[in-house]
Amino acid sequence: MKRRFFLGIMAVLTTFAIVCVSGCTSDGSASGASKEPPLISLTVKPDEELHEISDLLYGIFIEDINFAADGGLYGEMVANRSFEFTRLAKDDGFYGYSTVGKAKYSVISDGKGLNQNNPSYLNVINDSSSPAGVANRGFLDGMCVKEGEDYRFSVYARGKDGYTGPMHVAIKKGNKELASGDIKAISGEWQKYELVLHSASYADKGVTLELTIDKGSADFDMISLFPKDTYKGRENGMRRDLAEKLEELHPAFLRFPGGCVVEGINLQKAYDWKDSIGVDENRKPLLFNGTYGDVACRRMGQNIWTDETASQDPHPSFMSYGLGFYEYFQLAEDIGAIGVPVINCGICCMIQGNGSGVRAGNDKMQRYIDDALDLVEFCRGDKDTVWGAARIAMGHEAPFQLKYIGIGNEQWGDHFFKNYEAFVNAFAEARAERPELFEGVELMFSAGPDDGDSGSGTYKAAYAEAARWLSENEGQDISLYAGAIDHHYYNAPSWFLAHNDYYDEENYSRSTENMTDTLYGGGMQVFLGEYAAQSNTLEAALAEASYMTGLERNGDIIRMAAYAPLFGNTTATHWAPDLIWFNNHTVTPSVNYYVQKIFADNAGSRLLASEMSGAELTAKDISGAVGLGTWNTAASFDNIKVTDNLTGKVLAECDFSKDKDLDEWNRVSDGNWSIKDGQLLQSSSRTNTGSFGTTGTAAYFGDTDWTNYTYELDAVKTSGSEGFLIPFAVGDKDNHYFWNIGGWNNTVSCLQQVSAGGKSDQMAGTVKRCAIKRNTSYHLKVVVEGNRIKCYIDDQLYVDYKVHFGTTARMYQVVSSDESGDIIIKLVNVTGDNLQVNLDLGTSEVKDSATLHLVAGDSSRNDNILGKEEVVTLKTSVLTGIAQNFTYTAPKYSVSVIRVERK
């Protein structure tokens, strides 16, 4: 996963985001054909089936980011249950714990622990006459227990120095005991002890699990507490409320476990599926070689999303592997999906890491190939196979469904392609030798972190590599090379509106004969493994919905698609936006969630021909005001001038000769802005990224209607770690472009976009090496001409980019049918107006009522906030007055799905 965006249509975005038409939200209505034709007409051709739509089109992707697994979906309530945390955690191996009474403790790794996979354990000494021990506070915002609920406690323990006394267990809130139980005696050897604790009341703050002993000494490991009421009642199971939200999406597939966690910051910290299966206490947490005191050992390594630079991360993210490949496949089965695993390709993360790894032909590469081959055996093998027997021993005698395996995540380049081809060759041999296991299993390969919009970059290279393989293996089906190519992109809402035609045939060829001739490649099935419009507002959700009509329209080439990331929490968020927000006791689906749900609930199996007229918008030139800004940098600015490109007229200029000139600038930052000696100074070298992470330290100036202009200024960096941010096409602080000069620790120049309050990353085709010197004056120039942007430093061209306008509309649509023969009409109204649509169903053989599924709001800014009443949900009602011709009023800011039954 990588933040990856592209430019879109600012004029359209500004219309949707800023100019909101007031009025009440309609629930949608249908009526007979209007005497005066409405602005929009939709004609359906119910007997003209264009092609089948993938039966796996809408699914979900879970990565252990934002504590989605440990501390989230995985029901374990104890943080650091096996004492394997590292130096990145506060208190190291004692992270998450505190002492109770006069206990003394030490975390030991001396080869005498529970097993070699979990070498560290806790020793407690109580020299007092009162019970003493340790308490665990849980993950993130702590534990939550519910009145009347049961909780499964377990621990491995042994008495030390002859202690055979009791072990006291309690769930407490402060000094108040909510639940308790005793183990009457413990032995001198490692043994598992279990209790069921019944909570007498509810608490979600300040709750701890206490484990104490009488006077003496004891060792502990794998201290665990699960709600008994897990999803499907499974031990070692999932948090029920979170898992039920996944089931309610009716996903066709579940991609797991990543994402970047598959790759690791280095290969030592990459995900290993074989360590994630088996008896829970014998699983090997994600480990790396290290030391504990003077003892060399293997200790739990951090999830790639942990802050690598923090020595005392308050919420370090580590993977216990309690939620492992067995549980992922079981979860997929439980929610009615197929599992789509992703495994390491022998290369670590190329974005966050250095992309190092082993190479095809090297003996060390065989381990990664074997992992992929053995995974097939784990899923499909019987009791007479090594890995099939391992699955059966865990309790699942029937095979797991397995169709696709992703090889690598967001990798690209020659190193990756050669490694990937080694997997392809190995699977070809396996199909020939063991067809009963390997027939029908297809590999998928990465197109990298680009979205292909520039017609070059990592996408183009990936398709070229597939074309090379096809030419060298004449007569072979491309699916033997890859069942699908994995696309990932995270773009501004406007990008999704403008790219509804991304996978249409004129852009994405269905023939392998011209795989590299079209803009985005062609011929191969696509797995859109990760995408999002970078905001949890209704505006972004509708942009995604508009794009999903294009995915469904091209369901012959799009095999699977998944929003990402899936889970987010408010205590320690690595990435936002997210589909589902949670804390220790509450879960709230985002607006985007209901868009995903309405599409998945009403997935069609065949695309019907349809035509809409009257909905298209005329693309406008890029427009907006201008600005100044920095990121963790102090700077001075002077000689501001904005000139009309057509007339040469100076639209505005400012030389900061007067103090009141500052009043003309709208400051939306924490910067220290002042005028001195005819210059505008921003003297703070630190940016509050929590409050101004999308804008930086910025100020805006001018007219939002400006188009076709040249913006010039002089800038000097006085201190700090980066360079300048130069906003332009500014609608407001939540909607604009900016030129980042000296970004990423003073290494690059690039364009970025802020849309609906979400900020893009470096935009492909605009990135160039750049470092800004201190106390040096730079003349900066941004030229906006229609849809073209040029940026200059001291008259040297740094950016020359054309915005892809595409075809934008007030309303987007797709029409399909399912196995029952229903006509399924999906309409996405992205405007602030209620829009009337005249529908011609093309047949009179329909029932006079239809089912309406509706996601709608009253503002493009609607956002479902965790813990508050949801503003936007999915509602279902009945439409009457259905005939061959009828008029439907689509509410403003809405997704409507009308299911019409045929007689």
Structure tokens, 396:
């699942």
| pLDDT for residue 731 is more than 50 | yes
pLDDT on residue 46: 97
Per DSSP, what are the bridge partners of residue 361? none
733 half-sphere exposure, CB direction, 13 A CA radius? 15
The three state secondary structure string of 800-846 is EEECCCCCCECEEEEEEECCCCCEEEEEEECCCCCEEEEEECCCCCE
In this prediction, residue 10 has a pLDDT band, given cuts at 50, 70 and 90, of very low
Beta strands in 62-149 (DSSP E): 97-100, 104-108, 121-126, 132-136
Per DSSP, what are the bridge partners of residue 44? 610
E strand or H helix at 300: strand 295-300
Please give the full DSSP string across 429-493, using - where no structure is assigned.
HHHHH-HHHHTT-EEEEE--S---TTS-HHHHHHHHHHHHHHHHSTT--GGGT-SEEEEEEE--H
Please give the full DSSP string across 534-603, using - where no structure is assigned.
S--SHHHHHHHHHHHHHHHHTTTTEEEEEES--EEESSS-SS---SEEE-SS-EEE-HHHHHHHHHHHT-
| pLDDT for residue 732 is more than 90 | yes
Per DSSP, what are the bridge partners of residue 179? 171
- Name the residue type at position 364: K
pLDDT in tens, 821-840: 999 999 999 999 999 999 99
- Name the residue type at position 353: G
| pLDDT for residue 23 is more than 60 | no
Q: What is the pTM of this model?
A: 0.86
pLDDT on residue 326: 97
In this prediction, residue 351 has a pLDDT band, given cuts at 50, 70 and 90, of confident
For tokens 């000296």, the residue is 742
pLDDT on residue 38: 60
pLDDT on residue 291: 30
pLDDT in tens, 290-304: 332 333 333 345 577
Residue 273 to residues 36, 355, 407, 439, Cα–Cα distance (Å): 63, 20, 13, 22
Which candidate, 723, 714, 717, 765, places its Cα nearest to that of 743? 723
pLDDT in tens, 508-558: 888 877 666 655 566 799 999 999 998 999 999 999 999 999 999 999 999
pLDDT on residue 519: 53
pLDDT in tens, 122-145: 999 999 999 999 999 999 999 999
How far apart CA 80 and CA 224 sit, in angstroms, is 9
Helix (H, G, I), strand (E, B) or coil at 666: strand
How far does Cα 518 stand from its chain's mean position? 28
In this prediction, residue 310 has a pLDDT band, given cuts at 50, 70 and 90, of low
Which candidate, 567, 580, 562, places its Cα nearest to that of 71? 567
pLDDT in tens, 634-683: 999 999 999 999 999 999 999 999 988 899 999 988 889 999 999 999 99
Name the least confident of 7-21, 191-205, 781-795: 7-21
Structure tokens, 746:
């003073």
Longest dimension (CA), the chain: 94
Mean pLDDT value across residues 474-480: 91
How far apart CA 501 and CA 554 sit, in angstroms, is 9
pLDDT on residue 580: 98
Which candidate, 650, 753, 639, 780, places its Cα nearest to that of 706? 650
Higher pLDDT among residues 817 and 522, named by residue = 817
Mean pLDDT value across residues 411-436: 97
How far apart CA 871 and CA 689 sit, in angstroms, is 28
Q: Which residues are catalytic?
A: 410
| pLDDT for residue 11 is more than 50 | no
Whole-number percent of the chain with pLDDT over 90: 76
pLDDT on residue 458: 86
Strands 697-701 and 666-667, bridge-based pairing: antiparallel
pLDDT on residue 837: 97
Structure tokens, 110:
């001396």
**CB-CB contact of 292 with 85 (8 Å):** no
In this prediction, residue 804 has a pLDDT band, given cuts at 50, 70 and 90, of confident
In this prediction, residue 352 has a pLDDT band, given cuts at 50, 70 and 90, of confident
Name the least confident of 164-168, 207-211, 223-227, 804-808: 804-808
How far does Cα 155 stand from its chain's mean position? 34
pLDDT in tens, 254-293: 999 999 999 988 888 889 999 999 988 888 775 433 332 3
CA dihedral angle for residue 472, residue 478, residue 483, residue 489, rounded to 10 degrees:
80
pLDDT on residue 30: 61
Structure tokens, 321:
């592997």
Cis peptide before 341 (omega within 30 of 0): no
| pLDDT for residue 452 is more than 90 | no
Mean pLDDT value across residues 12-25: 28
Helix (H, G, I), strand (E, B) or coil at 233: helix
Structure tokens, 740:
């980042």
Higher pLDDT among residues 586 and 37, named by residue = 586
